[in-house]
Structure 1
């Protein structure tokens, strides 16, 4: 049975860099839904973009996250966000959370230990897909803390350290769970 671990947090906090490093070590990882959906929607001229239609964007993220969940085949898989992030995103956007999204969060559980990347001003940058400013990145981090705590997950804050040190921290959290 696959043990599914989420790495979440606000944008620009080093999650994707960390996951790429861990993938290079041979750990199965997922691709972040948000950035991939934005790139695809921009390429096709779609409207499921967070600044055009947050609800459509959330729908696309749900499809992506469930598909990523189903694809896991290794003993351990690390996710660049997960289904609960969508609920956090809707809360942050002050939009209602549909019942089917709440059900999805129940039907697709992850390990109770969630790794969360804190806001990190020194590495934060905006780009074509990351249009949020740093204060919004901080609010996103808080929204993720709130939703994961509300759903009963235990948060482990990643250190603001080198990717190697962060990877060591991830390995320690995973090994604690794998041993149990």
Structure 2
């Protein structure tokens, strides 16, 4: 019997719940990683304005960036850990009260992640706003609920990360990336 290696693990969940910190620790531990595309878009000139003035255009830009990252790691033999994925874009649209375009829906249905989907739940003790994380606490919780629902709507099982320090979360992540028989 062949072992099934998780190829595309994803960190999802609430803004400010420790995803980037865990992603950085995973990269330092030798795990291939893909950064959060939304944060990269927001950090570019005009990114915050695009999000505020054209959230549908921002969602489309996120989906395109996710597609590039997905393709970049398509042939990697081992696992890669993505900071968010296509259903996160749907969650953004849902929480914004916007429709999901056919192209974004198609990406969610056809470009599938084959690995654990790990959710960083909203965690008030570590939440802090910053230049790109503009949601208040209630908005962060609503975002978490929307993206988690979107992942489930597209048929993924979502596993919660423990509310624990980065070392414990990294151990949990490594265990989640072990091949299944």
Q: Taking structure 2 as the reference length, what is the TM-score of the superposition?
A: 0.91
Equivalent in the alignment of 1:22: 26
Deviating above 3 A after TM superposition, structure 1's stretches of 4 or more consecutive aligned residues are 45-48
User: Size of the alignment, in residue pairs?
Assistant: 175
Higher relative contact order (CA 8 A, sep 6+): 2
Structure 1: gaps (5+ residues): none
Equivalent in the alignment of 1:134: 137
Paired with 2:9 and 2:24, the residues of 1 have a C-alpha distance of 15
Q: For the structure 1 residues 46 and 21, does the alpha-carbon distance in structure 2 shift closer, same or farther, using more than 3 Å as the test?
A: closer
Paired with 1:159 and 1:9, the residues of 2 have a C-alpha distance of 12
What is the SS of the residue equivalent to 2:9?
strand
Q: Taking structure 1 as the reference length, what is the TM-score of the superposition?
A: 0.92
Q: For the structure 1 residues 2 and 165, does the alpha-carbon distance in structure 2 shift closer, same or farther, using more than 3 Å as the test?
A: closer
Alignment of 1:57-96 (within 5 A): 57-72=58-73, 73-96=76-99
Query: Would you say the 8 A contact 2:6–2:115 is kept in 1?
Result: no
Please tell me the root mean square deviation across aligned C-alpha atoms, in Å: 1.6
TM-superposed CA distance for 1:47, in Å, is 7.0
Query: Would you say the 8 A contact 1:47–1:53 is kept in 2?
Result: no
1:117 to 2:81 alignment: no
2:167 alignment partner, one of 149, 164, 167: 164
What is the SS of the residue equivalent to 2:158?
strand
Alpha-carbon deviations, 1:124-179, whole Å to 9, x = none? 1111111110110000110111111111111110011010100111111111xx22
Alpha-carbon deviations, 1:26-49, whole Å to 9, x = none? 100001011110011xx2x35763
**Mean CA deviation greater in 13-22 or 48-57:** 48-57
Structure 2: gaps (5+ residues): none
